[in-house]
Amino acid sequence: RIVFLNGSFLPIDEAKVPFMDRGFMFGDGVYEGIGVLNGRLVDNEAHLERLERSLKEIQIPNPYSRAEWTRLEEELVRRNNMTEGFVYFQVTRGVAERDFFFPTDARPTVAMFTQAKSIANAPAAEAGISVITVPDMRWERRDIKSINLLAQVLAKQAAKEAGAQEAWMVQDGYVTEGGSSSAFIVTKAGSIVVRPLSNAILPGITRKSLLQMSREDGIVLEERLFTVNEAYDAAEAFLTSASNFVVPVVRIDGRPVADGKPGPVTKRLRQLYLQMAAGPALA
């Protein structure tokens, strides 16, 4: 397996990050994850735009232009012969003696790897998954895609121990988002409900594409908060992420959503998203 680290492509066992990297010591960095289908990066421009914003918010200089990032991602996909899965990369503030203040002379550390994975033909994603709800314990700048994922690690582990596959985090009774996904419900009238963008959630790229697709498809959108109780009573529920696209949620805290099977709106959106991601040649 080949990874990219600070300018070089090399076997993963040879890729070493220095002990004093601020990503390791402070979680001082940001990341991106981009889906790959048929060897193509899905929504890459939007991911790079979000990366630029995350870096700016924490004052790390962007080491590459969008064209350079794209070239690196594509080269890594090619070197790993990957056709389906995802590309992960992170940028940390770099290596410096441990001190909270920004170092004046550090260069950002850039690490990138690929993970092969079935996204289009994923049985769980077809059949639907279970989620549990947990308190959202994160900081107040969830719009930054920070590598600090401790709250999500704990939330998703709790989900796993409860026999579920994802955790929906809850603040003041309202669902914020999934541990690593955006959360949606479908009302009995057939409209999609999703939390509006703010500092309380990550601006999901899959969320953004899905909303655009839904608008074009004539589906009614309600960008507003929704409670856990509303989710229990919803006609359908689903989640989106770059590494899973659109996945039905068929149980919430052990209760079936409607009849406990993926609903028609979710199935249609998954299909539409897969077509878009597959690219013009296969659409």
The answer to whether the beta carbons of residues 132 and 160 sit under 8 Å apart is no
- Helix 264-278 and helix 205-216, axial crossing angle in degrees, nearest 10: 110
Q: Active-site residue 261, yes or no?
A: no
CB of 255 to ligand PMP, least distance (A): 23
Residue whose CB is less far from ligand PMP, 109 or 206 = 206
* Cα atoms in the Cβ-side hemisphere of radius 13 Å centred on 68: 6
Query: Both tokens of residue 13?
Result: 């066992």
CB of 181 to ligand PMP, least distance (A): 5
Residue whose CB is less far from ligand PMP, 92 or 146 = 146
> What is the contact surface with ligand PMP in residues (CB under 6 A)?
33, 177, 180-182, 202, 204-207, 240-242
CA distance 75 to 78: 5
Residue whose CB is less far from ligand PMP, 109 or 180 = 180
Q: How remote is the C-alpha of 101 from its chain's centroid?
A: 29
Residue whose CB is less far from ligand PMP, 54 or 206 = 206
CB of 182 to ligand PMP, least distance (A): 5
Three-state DSSP at 250 gives strand
CB of 100 to ligand PMP, least distance (A): 25
CB of 52 to ligand PMP, least distance (A): 14
Q: Which listed residue (16, 56, 117, 145) is catalytic? A: 145
CA distance 115 to 261: 29
CA distance 42 to 70: 11
| Closest alpha carbon to 237 in 179, 180, 175 | 175
CA distance 205 to 139: 21
Residue whose CB is less far from ligand PMP, 93 or 156 = 156
CA distance 61 to 52: 9
User: Angle at CA 231, nearest 5°, toward 225 and 150?
Assistant: 75
Q: Active-site residue numbers?
A: 145
